[in-house]
Amino acid sequence: MRTCPHLDNGNCKVAMILTKGIPAPITSQSCGICMSLERPMTLNIMTCQLAYAVTRDPEIKAAFSKEQTRAINRPGTCLRNILHKLNLSEKKECKCDEYAAIMDTWGTEGCRSRIPEIVDHLNSQTVTWLDMAKVVMGGYFTTEALVLEAIRQSEQGTKHHEG
């Protein structure tokens, strides 16, 4: 296992917070998965799954579907990942990570209701003709198409992990 500050005698401390202290044994495989995620060593799909597996309390189990949704329902992160895959680099004056975090707190439904606001924000950023060409070559002909794809990916991730 890689060194993780949340590893305590073979248990995941993040998962134990979610289980209200119930030990959550971790394997090298689950620790490796957690470390490979975009947000390692924090509330993420792996730590939620570890906690869910060890708790017997029905109230805690019911809360996990909400926690798992919150951990993976991240349209801002999806949008940032799309832009990264299109090889668009963040400009110094851009606050992309901050705006992605705001979008993540809104979730898919909040972003869906704010599509015009998100599109306006993205359109207000400084872009070059090369940036625009990369976006179009990626199959996105409007800024709204980018936002809708991020929302779709976030929703798919949530449905995939909830089942």
Mean pLDDT computed over every residue of the chain? 81
| Residue 64 pLDDT exceeds 80 | no
* Lowest mean pLDDT, pick from 40-44, 55-59, 83-87, 158-162: 158-162
Yes or no: say if 154 and 74 are a contact pair by the CB < 8 Å rule: yes
pLDDT value for 14: 85
Q: Dihedral through CA 60, CA 68, CA 35, CA 29, nearest 10?
A: 70
Q: What is the model's pLDDT at position 117?
A: 95
| Residue among 85, 78, 91 nearest 134 (CA) | 85
Lowest mean pLDDT among 17-26, 68-77, 101-110: 68-77
The residue-averaged pLDDT of 12-21 equals: 84
Q: Which amino acid is at 98?
A: E
Residues of the chain with pLDDT > 70: what percent? 83
Confidence at 1, pLDDT banded by 50, 70, 90: very low
- The percent of residues above 90 in pLDDT, for the chain, comes to 22
Region at 134 (left for phi over 0; alpha for psi -120 to 50; beta for the rest):
alpha
**Mean pLDDT of the region 42-64:** 76
Question: pLDDT, tens digit, for every residue of 114-155?
Answer: 999 999 999 888 888 888 899 999 999 999 999 999 999 888
Band of pLDDT at residue 67, cut at 50, 70 and 90: low
